[in-house]
Structure formats: structure tokens, C-alpha cells
Amino acid sequence: MEVKQSFDTPTPTTPEPEVENGSVSGGLTSTSFWKTWARDLFLSVETTGIQRVTEEQRLQSPTKVWNACTFWMSANMAVATLNVGSIGGVMGLSFWDCFAIILVVNLLSCMIPAWTASFGLTGLRMTTFSRYSFGYWGNLLVVVFSMVATTGWNAINSISGASVLYALSDGKCPTWAGVIIICTTVWIICALGITWIHRFDAFLWIPPFIVWCVTAGTGASTFSGTAVESPKGPNGAASALSFIAVIFSFAVSWMNCASDYNVRMPVNTPRSRIFIATYIGIIVPTVLVQTLGAALYSGTQVNADWKAAFEAGGIGGPLREALAPAGGFGKFLMVFAALSAIPNNIPNNYSFAMHAQNFGPRAIRIPRLYLVTFGFVAAILVGCFASKYFENTLETFLSIIGYWTVIHLVVVAEEHLFFRACRWSRYDFDAWDKPALLPFGWAAIGAFAFGFLGAALGMKTGWYIGPVAELIGKQGANIGHEMTFGLSAISFPVFRWLEKKYTGK
């Protein structure tokens, strides 16, 4: 089947001079301007799916390295990031303990999506590239969990933005309405495709950055580093380990789609530059905004109005209180804070379609627009229902998605390090859609099973505490990531060696 490619944005040609009222007018008339703009819009809409982007196609309209930075700056300069930073306080940790965890964990975990971002130079999206380690059919695990993850993130991020609209409107804009507003806007941008996504994201990080700077200034007098004292001994360790799991999950979850937005970079782009640009784009807004979230929660422990606002509307409540001294300008900034959920959700809705097309030969025939629309509807449904139990939903979801992402990371990394010797020449990138040339995936399936066994032993959620997790502190600690990593990292090389020995793939 021949698939029409549409990767370039044509350079507008200079129009012929037009005669107007008997005289020749130079330049574009209003009519020709709108015709040119409409043509540019139409031809820039992405019509392809997960097909590998060839070197020739990338030369037509290449993505710039700085796009990797601004894209992730926009995605993480969001109110959901603010929400995640407040979770440590909810767990009983002091502001300074929260800050230490936010800084140290992000310094390390943000390296993971920055590394996988360079995989886009293969011309393949991350879920498709995973076929070389998970196998053609074993990769269905990646597809399913990636689709669940992106849908969940879509809902979580939309709820975060909707909570700000709820607080701004004093409850007149219900959370479900805010979820619909945010998801619909995201759907429109994602429907246009990668060219327009990079165009928008070059600037979408700026408004929320202004919001967070003003919030830090107007709310500083209420922030308190001593309002909460972290528990000591095993209970303190349990809270710290659980918050570490949340922060780790937030950052590392981007690895499932980080390469998707670099598939049009020239093949001679240095991988180190992609790594640095992506790392800066993720870690800078993540650390700053999560720290502000922890500071906002600290204010709820010393100010009764802030506490009541937090209990009524989530993080949007203390955010509104912090911006109150700015008057009408503060309310204006609240709108930008809510809309920051839009670029935060773009990677989820766009990559949902890319994940779904990996279901098999028939799935790739489904137009990308249809799959983006399906992901949009699913996010609205999940978001409207999950908003009622948002705090437990956020903590539980972040933890569980983190377990799966750890397995994904281990399998891809060990395949690359041990079985490909870190040599890209050992991959046949033309075999991405040929099951006969790829492993079945028995090794990855086995590692997946062992990894989730570790998660079941060490996880701590609102509905289940693993037998190992409950040994730490009175309420248990989330050590599922560590156990998931250990069991999957040990089992995959053994299973993969056996798979290669008996199948030759």
C-alpha cells in the first residue's frame, strides 16, 4: 500500500502583481494572503502515521534541535506539575524534604527520557522502535500500556487544569466542563500534526512561566518551610520513598513518547545535542514548578483560607489565594495557569494515535486523525469520572504507570547495551513492520511478568499494599519501582539469551 507522505511546509511563492482599480499593486492582497495561509495550513496537516521517516523526507522540513527543548518546556510548565509537587506535603513531608527529593530525583530520572529522545533519529516512534527488543508480538504489551498511560495522563492533566478553572469561577465552571474544554483544544492541535505542534510549543511555555513567577512573588509571604515537620524513623522513610516514587514516575513516563517528536531531525544531528536540549526542556520546568507546588501546600498549613481553598478545589485553591494580591491581573493569570494543561496533554493525545497504530498491519491503515479522536473521547470520559477521587487517582496512577515504564526502560536499555553492543548498525530499521525479521518477544514477556511480580510485592496504593511494602512504617512504603527494576533487569538477559539461542532472532 502506498502511503502519501506530507512532511514539508511549502515556501510561499511571491504572488504576481495584481491590478486594483486600474493600477498594479505589489505584494499580497488580503484575498491572496488568506489563500496562501489556507494552503499552508492544509499542506502542513500531518496525514501519515508510524511509517519510518526516511532521510530524504526529513530534509524537506526538518525539526530543529531547539524544538526538543521548547516542546518539553511547554509540556512540563504546567499546572499538573504543580499538583505533583504538592503530593509530598499531603504525605506529611516538610517543604525542605520535598524540595530535596524533587531536585535529586529529577536530576537523575530526567536523563531517561532525554536519552530515549535521541532514538527519534532512527525515523521510528518509540513504540515502534520497541519492537526490536520486545519483539513484534510481545510489543503489544508496550502498545496496551502506552495507550492506557497516555489516556490516564490526558485525564489527570486535564483535571489539574480544570481544578484551576473551578477555583477561578468559584465553582461555577464544574470540573467536568473544564476537562472538556482542555481536551477539545488539545484534540484540535494534535489533529493538525507534528508541524503545528512544534510551532505552537515554541511559545506556549511562556504564559505559564509568567504565572509561576508572579505566584512565587505574591504568595511568598505565606510559604513556610517549617509549617510541616516530617515524621521520623520508619514512618518518615515510608513517606519519603512513596514521594520519590511519584516524582520518578512523573519524569520517566515521558520516555514512552520522547522520540516521537524528533523523527524529522536530520540523521547527522548529534545525539548529545538532542539529549541536552531535551534534558533542559524537562528538568528546568519540572523542578521549578514542582517546588512551587510544594511551597503552595506549605501555605495551606499556616493559612486557614488557603487550606479551605485546597480542600475545596485542589491545587487551584491555594493558587488563587496566592494570586489574590494581584487583583484582576491575578485572575487573568489563573486562566493561563488552567490552559497550561493544553501543551501538557499534547504529547499524550498525539502519541496515543502512534501507539495504537502498532497493534498490527490492520491498525496502521486506520487514519491518524481517527485514533487521535478516539484518544480524545477516552480522555474526556476517564477525566470526568476520575475527578471525583482526584488525589487517590493521581497518586495511584503515577505509581502504577511508573512500574510499567521501568520494565519498558529495562528491556529497551538491556537489548541496546548487551545484545546490540550500543551499535545502531546492528538494527535493521527497514524491518520495523516485518514480523519474520523480528523476535516474537518471549524474553520481554517473561521479563514483564517478573517485573510486575516485583511491583506486586513492593507497591503501595490506596487499594493495595504489597507484602514487602507493608514492612516499612505503619502505613507501608512504595518500593515497587526498585523491585520491578531488580527482577526485570535480572530476568530479561537470561530469557533473551535463550530466545536468541532457540529462535535465532
DSSP 53-73: PPHHHHHHSPPPHHHHHHHHH
pLDDT grade, residue 35 (50/70/90)?
low
The pLDDT of residue 21 is 41
Q: Worst-scoring range by mean pLDDT, 3-17, 93-107, 317-331?
A: 3-17
276 or 462: which carries more pLDDT confidence? 276
Q: What is the mean pLDDT of residues 405-415?
A: 93
pLDDT at 10 over 50: no
Distance from chain centroid for Cα 51: 22
Q: What is the mean pLDDT of residues 418-440?
A: 91
pLDDT tens per residue across span 81-115? 999 999 999 989 999 999 999 999 999 999 999 99
The pLDDT of residue 45 is 67
pLDDT grade, residue 8 (50/70/90)?
very low
Q: What is the mean pLDDT of residues 380-399?
A: 69
The answer to whether the CB of 406 falls within 8 A of the CB of 483 is no
Q: Which of 198, 216, 186 is nearest to 85 (CA)?
A: 216
pLDDT at 19 over 80: no
Please state, in angstroms and rounded to a whole number, the distance separating the CA atoms of residues 359 and 52.
16
pLDDT at 43 over 60: no
Highest mean pLDDT among 54-68, 128-142, 151-165: 128-142
Point out which residues pair with 465 in neighbouring strands.
Answer: 460
Contacts of 355 (CB under 8 A, 6+ apart): 127, 142, 143, 146, 147, 150, 256
pLDDT tens per residue across span 491-505? 999 999 999 988 888
The pLDDT of residue 22 is 40
Nine-digit cell at 341?
494543561
pLDDT grade, residue 13 (50/70/90)?
very low
Please state, in angstroms and rounded to a whole number, the distance separating the CA atoms of residues 75 and 98.
22
Please state, in angstroms and rounded to a whole number, the distance separating the CA atoms of residues 159 and 115.
29
pLDDT grade, residue 1 (50/70/90)?
very low
The pLDDT of residue 245 is 87
Q: Which of 195, 203, 204 is nearest to 63 (CA)?
A: 195
Q: Which fold has domain 52-391?
A: Hydantoin permease (1.10.4160)
Contacts of 202 (CB under 8 A, 6+ apart): 67, 70
Residue 459, CA distances (Å) to 230, 479, 482 in order = 22, 6, 10
Point out which residues pair with 24 in neighbouring strands.
Answer: 19
pLDDT at 169 over 50: yes
pLDDT grade, residue 314 (50/70/90)?
confident
Angle at 357 between CA 352 and CA 358, to 5 degrees: 105
pLDDT grade, residue 374 (50/70/90)?
very high
The pLDDT of residue 215 is 95
The answer to whether the CB of 363 falls within 8 A of the CB of 104 is no
pLDDT at 247 over 90: yes
pLDDT grade, residue 390 (50/70/90)?
low
Contacts of 477 (CB under 8 A, 6+ apart): 237, 238, 239, 241, 242, 460, 469
Residue 24's SS3 state is: strand
pLDDT at 252 over 70: yes
The pLDDT of residue 32 is 60
Contacts of 312 (CB under 8 A, 6+ apart): 167, 171
Please state, in angstroms and rounded to a whole number, the distance separating the CA atoms of residues 472 and 249.
20
Cα torsion angle, 73, 77, 83, 85, sign: positive
- CA torsion 289→280→128→403, rounded to 10°? -50
Please state, in angstroms and rounded to a whole number, the distance separating the CA atoms of residues 185 and 488.
39
Q: Worst-scoring range by mean pLDDT, 7-16, 40-49, 140-149, 349-358?
A: 7-16
Where would I find the H helices in 91-232?
95-109, 111-117, 126-129, 131-134, 140-168, 175-192, 194-201, 206-219
pLDDT at 26 over 50: no
The pLDDT of residue 7 is 39
pLDDT at 20 over 50: no
Contacts of 298 (CB under 8 A, 6+ apart): 89, 95, 223, 224, 225, 227, 228
Residue 177's SS3 state is: helix
Q: Model's pTM, two decimal places? A: 0.86
Q: Which amino acid is at 487?
A: L
Please name the helix (run of DSSP H) or strand (run of DSSP E) that holds residue 23, with its range, or none: strand 23-25
Average pLDDT, the chain: 86
Please state, in angstroms and rounded to a whole number, the distance separating the CA atoms of residues 442 and 446.
6
* In the chain, % of residues over pLDDT 70: 88
Contacts of 12 (CB under 8 A, 6+ apart): 36, 39, 40
Q: Which amino acid is at 130?
A: S
Please state, in angstroms and rounded to a whole number, the distance separating the CA atoms of residues 479 and 483.
7
Point out which residues pair with 19 in neighbouring strands.
Answer: 24
pLDDT at 28 over 60: no
Q: Which of 138, 185, 188 is nearest to 369 (CA)?
A: 188
